[in-house]
Amino acid sequence: MGNYKFILSGGGTGGHIYPAVAIANELKRRHPSAEFLFVGAKDRMEMEKVPNAGYKIEGLWISGLQRKLTLKNLMFPFKLISSLIKAGGIVKRFKPDVVIGTGGFASGPLLKRASGMGVPCVLQEQNSFAGITNKLLAGKSKKICVAYDGMEHFFPLDKIVKTGNPVREDLVTMAATQVEALSFFELDTIKPTLVVLGGSLGARRINQLIEKELRFFKELGIQLVWQCGKLYYEEYKKYQSNDVKVFDFLNRMDFAYAAANFVISRAGAGSVSELCIVGKPVIYIPSPNVAEDHQTKNAMALVEKEAALMVKESDLASQFESVFSALFKDEEKQKELRVNSKKMAMPNATSDIVDEIEKLLKK
């Protein structure tokens, strides 16, 4: 056995693409002769990222509904019909044993057609508040792998398996020491280090905050690893100094996490899962511009368990300095956040998800 065929679909953001690639890599490790096909949305980042990871991908003409009346919304019915037709053709031609959806526009039409043809489907929901695509697909899916408690509000309880979210392998086995990481960034090995993460493209509001607070951090004697994102690098690289290292993108996340005494981050599902594994004191600043405000809900799931702090974008001007100062001065609080976030970590997520997929293969 082992000549299995898998279709994976997830995209639009790295938060959907990365888990799909991690699941494919683990399936390939267990079944080296298996065949893989990814299905994404044309013109989205998966069309570049998936081939870079070594997998074939086909694109559907699909996008999400906008919140206001736009030409794109008027096109949506045509895109949906086109995508359903193309997805049906892909499933018929490829004949997958299992289809795996990790969220994003393209997974809707693909899993709808696959389940309608009797192909077993597995969903992987990264967030604490389920996305609309996965909610619509839940009824026809065999298993739904989730990362948070309380997901029976969105999905049938008998289909839910709590696995956590796939994270980078190098974080699970993280071997880098803080001294090694600080020398990599050419930083002082004595000073406390703040790592700022705004996602691969960057987060405008977080960057504005860090720019405004540079003097405040200097007064506290803190040095920074500041990942400002590709969109903002030209604007912020002027702050590069002995104590402030500015990056468009961090290729060595294991070093970034190892260097950190404190982290400021968005609350995307992937970032939250990684930060729980590395167990650092984190202040989350959720993006308010995401569907169903799911980043705030992700952060709150940790805040409620004393595993992180959160400041909303709208409260940054009034609250940030007092929240950060209090954390900086309170070593007991730092320890509490480290311990409690590690308790929420699920480092075996990828393997556990693939175990669920293999149960369907045996049937």
Q: How far apart are CA 313 and CA 205, in angstroms?
A: 7
The C-alpha atoms of residue 127 and residue 294 are separated, in whole angstroms, by 7
Q: Which of 162, 132, 130 is nearest to 148 (CA)?
A: 162
Question: Known binder of ligand: residue 200?
Answer: yes
Distance CA 251, CA 296 (A): 26
Two tokens, residue 315: 């409260």
Cα–Cα distance, 140 to 119 (Å, whole number): 10
- Spatial distance between the Cα atoms of 282 and 79, rounded to a whole number of angstroms: 41
Asked if 28 and 34 count as a contact pair (C-beta separation under 8 A), the reply is: yes
* Cα–Cα dist 180/197, whole Å: 20
Q: Is 168 annotated as a binding residue?
A: yes
Q: For 75, phi and psi rounded to 5 degrees? A: -80, -15
Task: Name the residue type at position 294.
Answer: H
Q: What is the DSSP string of 65-102?
A: PPSS--HHHHHHHHHHHHHHHHHHHHHHHH--SEEEE-
Structure tokens at 112: 């709808």
Gap between the Cα atoms of 63 and 269, Å rounded: 21
Annotated binding site: 13-15, 127, 168, 200, 295
Annotated binding site for UDP-N-acetyl-alpha-D-glucosamine: 13-15, 127, 168, 200, 295
